[in-house]
């Protein structure tokens, strides 16, 4: 329980204005819906003088402009004769004698040392100085007023000219090591306070998304937002999340599994270059590279063919790799060291498999194609995947024999038509098989980009949708024919190139993160739903 005697004594010393804000702070601190009460919270609260605690609720004091620590680090040396104000959280603090305190404050990844010398704090008694040291805790937000100074070691420091002011206390002990792992007891916001690398990864994610956005804007693409809640979760083969709306109680709705069909409707409507960065949802498992909620970037470019798409992919990723290297000056991130020199290597899907297994694949359009490919698995002593549809069998062969060869950026091109129902298809000049005009970029054995020429024939698209529905039923997955999309195609979809990239995996690649949870601000669905 909260110490009632302490609160009663404190309350009598407050003005009406202070009572309002202190009471409001207690609601925030002890409301069971906002913060789980722990005894150490109460202990820290008792250590705060009531009036100081009241002050900590207000904004940084007015008057002087508060410099960001990043700006101060760049120009602080030119301001040695000026008094300025900095704000930030305490990372470390130490007492260097009875009249000297050092502490580091951090803000947005920048750190500045603060020196409090009793001799340079006019009107401050030794007792008040000691109270300041007893007040300091890791994680506290402080305002510091003082002059820039270079120490004997050359470190840029702020020498306080006023007693630093507590703006907001941290009522818990910030851990020294809170790196996330599957069973970490610390929530993500605590990990950010304690571990700079965790913070740097999320900042790198923001920089990667910004780079993507600017890349497309510089090429006259328009950013758009398309529906997330749909009547049909089209655009890919996957198990969707189902939901409902109060307005339509009798309708089953779905969260989108991809924005593709909506974006192509915009191309039909005359928007020749569009892109979207946003979330998609697939009701499937969680592992090191998969989360049911994930972020993608997709673009659609009218009058672009597969060669145009592959060339844009090379320009985008080689430029992004260099950008990350240039900005990772302190080396806190460990991005991939693969070679992004262009042009990227290309491997043909079918011939790549045939070269590895030493035999030709059967005719994939024949009625007994599934049986023949399953027999091939037995001949090669391979385990047949669960629900062995033709797409799953072929995808498994590629994952065994071709994808491991893709360490440096490599396009796997021209997969069988059944693996890509939304792309244009043609007869392969070497194998004679019906294949898709599609390329998938793999780096370090993992798919990063998927791109293809879009099917724009309504009749061909209907045929491919029907095949997709049949395969999905065999694999216990969800797939429906989107009649409204087929109707949109009847208005004429220009020859269009489409492109999609999983941003979470891209962030893993360029930050060195080993798990998708590390590049998500609040981890996977498992962490988000943990109670």
Residues 458 and 416 in one domain: yes
Beta strands per DSSP E along 321-445: 345-348, 410-413, 425-427, 434-436, 438-443
Q: What are the angstrom distances between the C-alpha of 59 and each of 63, 73, 85, 113, 454?
A: 12, 23, 13, 22, 54
Residue-averaged pLDDT of the chain: 86
Q: Between 72 and 254, whose confidence is greater? A: 254
Average pLDDT over residues 255-269: 96
Residues 76 and 20 in one domain: no
Exposed, middle or buried, 350 (CB in 10 Å: 0-12/13-18/19+)?
buried
Of these ranges, 64-78, 177-191, 243-257, the one predicted with the greatest mean pLDDT is 243-257
pLDDT at 481 over 80: yes
**Helix and strand numbers, DSSP H then E, in the chain:** 18, 20
Which of 55, 81, 98 is the endpoint of a domain?
55
Does some domain include residue 251?
yes
Range of the domain at 44: 4-55
Write the CATH number for 152. Answer: 2.40.50.140
Average pLDDT over residues 190-208: 91
What are the residues facing 297 on neighbouring strands?
277, 501
pLDDT at 274 over 90: yes
Tell me which H or E stretch contains 311: helix 306-327
Tell me which H or E stretch contains 406: none
Does some domain include residue 60?
no
pLDDT at 140 over 90: yes
What percent of the chain clears pLDDT 90, i.e. is strictly above it?
63
pLDDT reported for residue 23: 40
The region of weakest confidence among 65-79, 155-169, 372-386, 460-474 is 65-79
Residues 136 and 215 in one domain: no
pLDDT reported for residue 139: 92
Residues 459 and 504 in one domain: yes
Q: What is the pLDDT of residues 302-346, one digit of tens each?
A: 999 999 999 999 999 999 999 998 888 778 888 888 999 999 999
Are the CB atoms for 164 and 105 separated by under 8 Å?
no
pLDDT at 11 over 50: no
pLDDT reported for residue 118: 94
End-to-end Cα separation, the chain, in angstroms: 23
Query: Tokens 């003005």 map to which residue?
Result: 15
**CA–CA distance, 95 with 88 (Å, rounded to integer):** 19
Are the CB atoms for 294 and 284 separated by under 8 Å?
no
Query: Residue 93 CB: number of other CB atoms within 10 A?
Result: 20
Does some domain include residue 189?
no
* Local confidence band at 10 (pLDDT 50, 70, 90 cut-offs): very low
Task: Take residue 13 and report the two structure tokens written for it.
Answer: 């010393």
Query: Tokens 């021209």 map to which residue?
Result: 414
Average pLDDT over residues 352-366: 96
Q: What is the largest CA-CA distance in the chain?
A: 93
**CA–CA distance, 268 with 270 (Å, rounded to integer):** 5
What are the residues facing 148 on neighbouring strands?
158
**CA–CA distance, 324 with 309 (Å, rounded to integer):** 22
pLDDT reported for residue 57: 44
Are the CB atoms for 270 and 292 separated by under 8 Å?
no
Decide the pairing of beta strands 410-413 and 446-453.
unpaired
Average pLDDT over residues 262-289: 96
* Local confidence band at 475 (pLDDT 50, 70, 90 cut-offs): low
Decide the pairing of beta strands 410-413 and 438-443.
antiparallel
Average pLDDT over residues 278-283: 96
Does some domain include residue 187?
no
pLDDT at 452 over 80: yes
| 3-state class percentages of the chain: helix first, strand second, coil last, to nearest 5 | 40, 25, 40
**CA–CA distance, 393 with 455 (Å, rounded to integer):** 24
**CA–CA distance, 151 with 510 (Å, rounded to integer):** 36
Rg, C-alpha atoms of the chain: 30
pLDDT at 369 over 90: yes
How far from the centroid of its chain's Cα atoms is residue 379's Cα?
A: 43
* Local confidence band at 30 (pLDDT 50, 70, 90 cut-offs): very low
pLDDT at 361 over 50: yes
pLDDT at 513 over 90: yes
Q: Between 316 and 174, whose confidence is greater? A: 316
| Cβ within 8 Å of residue 76, ≥6 positions away | 112, 148, 156
Residues 366 and 417 in one domain: yes
Residues 277 and 133 in one domain: no
Does some domain include residue 177?
no
Write out 128-168 in H/E/C secondary structure: HHHHHHHHCCCCCEEEEEEEEEECCCCCEEEEECCCCEEEE
pLDDT reported for residue 39: 55
Angle subtended by helix axes 16-30 and 4-12, to nearest 10 = 160
Does some domain include residue 174?
no
Q: Which of 302, 309, 215, 242 is nearest to 266 (CA)?
A: 302
Total residues belonging to the chain:
531
* 3-state secondary structure (DSSP) of residue 60: coil
* 3-state secondary structure (DSSP) of residue 48: coil
Residues 13 and 147 in one domain: no
pLDDT reported for residue 478: 57
* Local confidence band at 378 (pLDDT 50, 70, 90 cut-offs): very high
Residues 33 and 83 in one domain: no
Average pLDDT over residues 453-478: 84
* Local confidence band at 469 (pLDDT 50, 70, 90 cut-offs): confident
* Local confidence band at 1 (pLDDT 50, 70, 90 cut-offs): very low
Residues 37 and 133 in one domain: no
Q: What are the angstrom distances between the C-alpha of 167 and each of 51, 149, 237, 246?
A: 12, 24, 51, 44
The dihedral sign for the CA sequence 66, 68, 74, 80:
positive
Angle subtended by helix axes 306-327 and 196-217, to nearest 10 = 140
The region of weakest confidence among 175-189, 238-252, 377-391 is 175-189
pLDDT reported for residue 149: 86
* Local confidence band at 50 (pLDDT 50, 70, 90 cut-offs): low
* Local confidence band at 234 (pLDDT 50, 70, 90 cut-offs): confident
The total of structural domains in the chain comes to 3
Are the CB atoms for 296 and 259 separated by under 8 Å?
yes
pLDDT at 500 over 70: yes
Average pLDDT over residues 114-125: 92
Residues 521 and 418 in one domain: yes
Task: Take residue 349 and report the two structure tokens written for it.
Answer: 């899907």
Q: Between 328 and 295, whose confidence is greater? A: 295
pLDDT reported for residue 35: 38
Write the CATH number for 327. Answer: 3.30.930.10
pLDDT reported for residue 435: 98
Q: Between 490 and 40, whose confidence is greater? A: 490
pLDDT at 15 over 70: no
* Local confidence band at 9 (pLDDT 50, 70, 90 cut-offs): very low
Q: Which of 311, 235, 243 is nearest to 278 (CA)?
A: 235
pLDDT reported for residue 441: 98
Residues 283 and 142 in one domain: no
Residues 42 and 82 in one domain: no
Q: What is the pLDDT of residues 408-443, one digit of tens each?
A: 999 999 999 999 999 999 999 999 999 999 999 999
**CA–CA distance, 205 with 337 (Å, rounded to integer):** 18
The region of weakest confidence among 90-99, 286-295, 410-419 is 90-99
pLDDT at 179 over 90: no
Query: Residue 366 CB: number of other CB atoms within 10 A?
Result: 10
| Cβ within 8 Å of residue 100, ≥6 positions away | 115, 116, 117, 118
Does some domain include residue 43?
yes
pLDDT at 33 over 50: no
Average pLDDT over residues 469-482: 72
Are the CB atoms for 366 and 372 separated by under 8 Å?
yes
Which of 168, 184, 216 is the endpoint of a domain?
168
Does some domain include residue 378?
yes
């Amino acid at each position: 329980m909260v110490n009632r005697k302490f609160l009663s004594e404190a309350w009598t010393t407050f003005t009406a204005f202070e009572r309002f804000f202190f009471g409001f702070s207690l609601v925030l601190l002890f409301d069971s819906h906002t913060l789980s009460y722990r005894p150490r919270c109460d202990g820290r609260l008792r250590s705060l003088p009531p009036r100081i605690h009241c002050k900590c609720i207000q904004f940084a004091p007015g008057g002087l402009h508060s410099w960001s620590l990043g700006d101060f680090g760049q120009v602080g040396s030119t301001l040695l004769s000026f008094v300025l104000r900095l704000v930030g959280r305490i990372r470390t603090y130490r007492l260097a004698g009875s009249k000297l305190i050092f502490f580091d404050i951090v803000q947005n990844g920048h750190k500045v040392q603060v020196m409090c010398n009793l001799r340079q704090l006019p009107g401050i008694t030794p007792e008040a100085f000691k109270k300041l040291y007893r007040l300091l805790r890791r994680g506290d937000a402080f305002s510091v007023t003082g002059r820039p100074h270079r120490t004997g070691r050359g470190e840029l420091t702020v020498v306080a000219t006023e007693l630093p002011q507590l703006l907001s206390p941290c009522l818990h002990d910030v851990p020294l090591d809170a790196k996330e792992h599957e069973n970490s007891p610390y929530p993500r916001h605590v990990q950010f306070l304690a571990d700079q690398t965790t913070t740097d990864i999320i900042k790198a994610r923001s920089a990667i998304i910004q780079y993507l956005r600017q890349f497309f804007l510089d090429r006259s693409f328009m950013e758009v937002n398309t529906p997330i809640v749909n009547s049909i979760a089209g655009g890919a083969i996957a198990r969707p999340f189902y939901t409902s709306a109060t307005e339509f109680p009798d309708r089953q709705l779905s969260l989108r599994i991809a924005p593709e069909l909506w974006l192509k409707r915009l191309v039909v409507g005359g928007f020749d270059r569009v892109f979207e960065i946003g979330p998609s949802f697939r009701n499937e498992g969680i592992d090191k590279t998969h989360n049911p909620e994930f972020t993608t970037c997709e673009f659609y470019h009218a009058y672009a063919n597969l060669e145009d798409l592959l060339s844009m992919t090379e320009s985008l990723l080689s430029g992004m790799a260099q950008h990350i290297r240039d900005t990772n000056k302190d080396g806190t991130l460990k991005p991939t060291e693969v070679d992004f020199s262009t042009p990227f290597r290309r491997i043909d899907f079918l011939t790549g498999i045939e070269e590895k297994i030493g035999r030709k694949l059967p005719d994939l359009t024949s009625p007994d194609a599934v049986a023949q490919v399953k027999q091939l698995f037995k001949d090669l002593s391979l385990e047949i995947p669960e629900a062995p549809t033709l797409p799953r069998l072929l995808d498994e062969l590629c994952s065994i024999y071709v994808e491991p060869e893709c360490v440096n950026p490599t396009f796997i091109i021209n997969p069988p038509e059944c693996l890509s129902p939304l792309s244009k298809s043609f007869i392969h000049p070497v194998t004679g098989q019906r294949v898709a005009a599609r390329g998938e970029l793999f780096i370090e054995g993992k798919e990063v980009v998927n791109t293809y020429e879009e099917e724009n024939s309504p009749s061909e698209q209907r045929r491919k949708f029907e095949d997709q529905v049949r395969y999905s039923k065999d694999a216990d997955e969800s797939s429906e024919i989107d009649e409204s999309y087929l109707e949109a195609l009847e208005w004429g979809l220009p020859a269009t190139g489409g492109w999609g990239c999983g941003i979470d995996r891209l962030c893993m690649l360029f930050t060195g993160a080993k798990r998708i949870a590390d590049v998500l601000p609040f981890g996977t669905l498992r962490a988000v739903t943990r109670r």
